[in-house]
Structure 1
Amino acid sequence: MEASFLQTLLFLAVGISVIVVLTARFRVHAFFALLISCFIVGLGVQLSVSEIITATKDGFGNVMKSLGLIIVLGTALGVILEHTGSTQVMASYILRKVGVKRAPLAMNITGFIVGLPIFCDSGYIVLNGLNQSLARRTGIPVVIMATSLATGLYSVHCLIPPHPGAAAAAGIIGVDFGTLILVGGCIAIPASAVGYLWAKFAGKKSAVATAEVAAATENPDQPSVLKSFLPVIIPILLIALRSFSDKYVDSKFWKECLVVGDPVIALSIGVLLALNGKRGWTKEKLGSLLQDAAEKAGGILVIIGAGGAFGAVLAATNIGGHLSGSLDLGSLGILFPFLLTALLKTAQGSSTVAIITSASIIAPLMPSLMMDKGNGPLFCVLSMGAGSMMVSHANDAYFWVIARFSGLEMKEMLRVYTVASILMGLTAFLVTWLVWIAF
């Protein structure tokens, strides 16, 4: 017997609450929180244990099939860029072009570019030494420098692959990676800019912090500017070119040539280019780096897989049919994914968990939201990405990475960075909505 709408809604709320409480209050790994919620929701709506297990396995496996290689390769690219010093080279180059007087802008741009292949927390840790050094040299308050860098990294982390939240949502909803990178990147630019502008405005009255972190030192073994940028730029161009070709080019030969734009191949090329940034690799060092990348990717993949499993269980409950028959979701449209993701992000802290959970809930509701045709799935994912930016506060690990590495107090972080995350999310959604109604 199928569960009623009220029963389904009740256990969905219970399942989401369990995820929030276990991850935010008890610090349980998101994989286990999502897995537990699969059984709570499934049993609550009268699915049998065998049905729940089957849906969980299918959902987990489908996500691994579509995203596994991409996440591993994207993580490896980020780890190698950190090790070779390419991130420092990119930061120094941008600083020279923008000027020391505009150091916050330089760090914001650096964060945006470095954040394309590198997760925001790793990128912040890598660039923190340079950021602190610039704060000392220029006399600019550390909170301005820290927030400028953090928002540049954060804007792309929430909106585009290969970052796990956006990548998982694209896989669950069914969105082309190349198109998402292109459009998401364009929407991330104003979001990043708003974060930078707020940092400058809100940080003016802050005292200049005396940083204790050593300045980044020049390393003669660092790669050239060209070698540093190529591993980031080439994969993005290849993926974007292939996406454009699929939509507007009919030549079979040209499409065969652009197989290199497949995200797996493009990221593999990026990894090889990144390895070229350093000479004299030893098998021990290379093996250690790749093992580190695989271990980092493994932690991300189990969360994404569990998110896919949770989505499969939700699909088995026919929640889409219940909600579409009871609520006028069409009137909410693109606003619903944004509000749901923002609520989950604020409650439990992780942008990745928030967007994966939201995508799992929203996938069966796409027809009811009237976003299942044309560019609807793309803008649905972008709306969720905007929601996953807000609100970053004390339950967000990235919040504490910024605070601890920059030596900022909680009050300063909430006043400047947390408000910046709200403004970024609202800006990203507004731009997404404007583009949505225009097309």
Structure 2
Amino acid sequence: MNLVLILIGVIAFIVIATSKFKLHPFLTLILAAFIAAFAYGLPSGDIAKTITTGFGNILGYIGLVIVLGTIIGIILEKSGAAITMADVVIKVLGKRFPTLTMSIIGYIVSIPVFCDSGFVILNSLKQSMANRMQVSSVSMSVALATGLYATHTFVPPTPGPIAAAGNLGLESNLGLVIGVGLFVAAVASFAGMLWANRFAGVEPDGEGAEELKAQANDFESLKQSYGTLPSPLKAFAPIFVPILLICLGSVANFPSAPFGKEGLFSLLVFLGQPVNALLIGLFLSALLLKSTNKIAEFSERISQGLVAAAPIILITGAGGAFGAVLKATPIGDFLGSSLSALGVGIFMPFIVAAALKSAQGSSTVALVATSALVAPMLGDIGLGSEMGRVLTVMAIGAGAMTVSHANDSFFWVVTQFSRMSVTQAYKAQTMATLIQGVTSMLAVYVLSLVLL
């Protein structure tokens, strides 16, 4: 019982330090690792080595993937590629299903671009579509936000799912994580869109709501500010080519050897390694550069990507350090045997991630901390297989979106740009993320019944 009380105390420390005292998650997780190490009685001479080894092991592979994915996202954001993607979806779907169109735009754009940035970029497009189609901007805002949120929490190369996959030993099989993640994210996105439709006749009631009509013209101004937009092929290639290569690499490694054991097999395995695939994506993104001095612009975008990736990398490494300490203690075996007797199974990672997310606000921190926490006990609760670990990543992702409220920066981005009052945003956006999280968890549970 003392083992559990110590763990509860460490989790409480993480929540209080990040939410109440606003301590950076990196330092919080490192301190949590030291606290857990001392509390569980690890030999004092081994503590620093355990923490530094855990920090280095997770970043030895995942760190480069996070950096490359972030740089690609920055280039797509700055070049207007996200606007091109949105235009393509609108042309394909037309104007008959406005909230579905908005949800799909968010679903696609948030694979490479952070959901916060994606909402800011697409806000004027959303408002323009709402005005042209005579649809409530509240419903369009929720549809866009939930579409963005879905792939942000489930689909690599977004850093949170990558970090969770790394903590659970799936860094060499991200293709499977991507494939399952795209499906679960689609379920979450569809659930968010259905909730958005409930607000079809509701207008925003926050400060500045009357100014929204003027934003209809902002989208054309925004498009013009990018100059000549990239073609659809150039816009989609930097993200979908790497995803395709990673998935083909995973297929090549299937026991049935669909591509043989040499030649094409070797090529696909090489190109399907996430670092190699994303490096190809990075070079494809260079085609989006517009200035006369492309090398200087490329270097600037890389610098911006490194700045954006640095805190995520440090948080991920700190999560790896925390996880290494927990693996060195008996808590994993104890909790695993206890939870397996209770039959909680796949719902346990969801509950932990949801508690962390709701308490401290960051989906990435919830993904990193929960994956580090549950990694030692997966075998004992029947989730030690490769597919079991993949579904655990999905369960943690479902928890990490439950719920987005006032302690989450994304909540405020959606609220402020949509001109919703806080009360209205809780009814529309926060409830939407609750529905998304529960619905996607149910989808994960059904998948576990079929695949495990």
TM-score class, shorter-chain normalisation, is over 0.9
Q: Indicate yes or no: 2:219 matched with 1:215.
A: yes
Q: Is the 8 A contact 1:223 1:278 kept in 2?
A: no
CA shift for structure 1 position 203? 4.5
Q: Is the 8 A contact 1:151 1:192 kept in 2?
A: yes
Q: 2:239 matched to which residue of 1?
A: 232
Q: Is the 8 A contact 1:355 1:388 kept in 2?
A: yes
CA shift for structure 1 position 251? 2.4
Q: Is the 8 A contact 1:7 1:45 kept in 2?
A: no
Identical-residue share of aligned pairs (%): 38
CA shift for structure 1 position 89? 0.9
1:104-151: CA deviation from partner (whole Å, max 9, x where unpaired): 222211111111111111211121222222233333222111111111
Q: Indicate yes or no: 2:86 matched with 1:91.
A: yes
- Once residues 293 and 346 of structure 1 are traced to their aligned partners in structure 2, the CA distance between those partners, rounded to angstroms, is 28
Q: Indicate yes or no: 2:202 matched with 1:205.
A: yes
Give 2:277's match in structure 1, choosing from 266, 270, 273. 266
Q: Indicate yes or no: 2:128 matched with 1:121.
A: no
- CA shift in 2, pair 1:276/1:335, >3 Å: same
Q: 1:369 matched to which residue of 2?
A: 381
Q: Is the 8 A contact 1:382 1:432 kept in 2?
A: yes
Counterpart residue identity of residue 123, structure 1: G
Q: Is the 8 A contact 2:19 2:361 kept in 1?
A: yes
Deviates more, 1:297-306 or 1:259-268: 259-268
Deviates more, 1:207-216 or 1:101-110: 207-216
CA shift for structure 1 position 206? 3.3
Counterpart residue identity of residue 20, structure 1: V
Q: Is the 8 A contact 2:99 2:140 kept in 1?
A: yes
- Once residues 272 and 366 of structure 1 are traced to their aligned partners in structure 2, the CA distance between those partners, rounded to angstroms, is 38
- Once residues 436 and 339 of structure 1 are traced to their aligned partners in structure 2, the CA distance between those partners, rounded to angstroms, is 16
Q: Is the 8 A contact 1:221 1:278 kept in 2?
A: no
Q: Indicate yes or no: 2:253 matched with 1:246.
A: yes
CA shift for structure 1 position 263? 0.9
Q: Is the 8 A contact 1:202 1:415 kept in 2?
A: no
Q: 2:73 matched to which residue of 1?
A: 78
- In structure 1, runs of 5+ residues without a counterpart are 1-5
- CA shift in 2, pair 1:254/1:370, >3 Å: same
Specify the SS of the correspondent of 2:61: helix
Q: 2:177 matched to which residue of 1?
A: 180
- Once residues 276 and 336 of structure 1 are traced to their aligned partners in structure 2, the CA distance between those partners, rounded to angstroms, is 44
Q: 1:156 matched to which residue of 2?
A: 151
Number of residue pairs aligned between Structure 1 and Structure 2 = 434
TM-score for the superposition, normalised by structure 1 = 0.94
Counterpart residue identity of residue 201, structure 1: R
Greater than 6 Å deviation, 4+ residue runs:
none
Q: 2:287 matched to which residue of 1?
A: 276
1:305-329: CA deviation from partner (whole Å, max 9, x where unpaired): 0001111111122211222454545
Q: 1:57 matched to which residue of 2?
A: 52
Alignment map for 1:31-42 (pairs within 5 Å): 31-42=26-37
Q: Indicate yes or no: 2:11 matched with 1:16.
A: yes
1:396-424: CA deviation from partner (whole Å, max 9, x where unpaired): 11111111222211111110111111111
Q: 1:436 matched to which residue of 2?
A: 448
- CA shift in 2, pair 1:189/1:326, >3 Å: closer
Q: Is the 8 A contact 1:8 1:44 kept in 2?
A: no
1:213-259: CA deviation from partner (whole Å, max 9, x where unpaired): 43343345211122111222211111111111111323222221111
- CA shift in 2, pair 1:363/1:281, >3 Å: farther
Q: Is the 8 A contact 1:8 1:317 kept in 2?
A: no
Give 2:364's match in structure 1, choosing from 348, 352, 371. 352
Q: Is the 8 A contact 2:204 2:421 kept in 1?
A: no
- In structure 2, runs of 5+ residues without a counterpart are none
- Once residues 425 and 13 of structure 2 are traced to their aligned partners in structure 1, the CA distance between those partners, rounded to angstroms, is 28
User: RMSD of aligned C-alpha atoms?
Assistant: 1.7
- Once residues 448 and 348 of structure 2 are traced to their aligned partners in structure 1, the CA distance between those partners, rounded to angstroms, is 14
- Once residues 80 and 330 of structure 1 are traced to their aligned partners in structure 2, the CA distance between those partners, rounded to angstroms, is 48
Q: 1:3 matched to which residue of 2?
A: none
- Once residues 41 and 216 of structure 1 are traced to their aligned partners in structure 2, the CA distance between those partners, rounded to angstroms, is 54
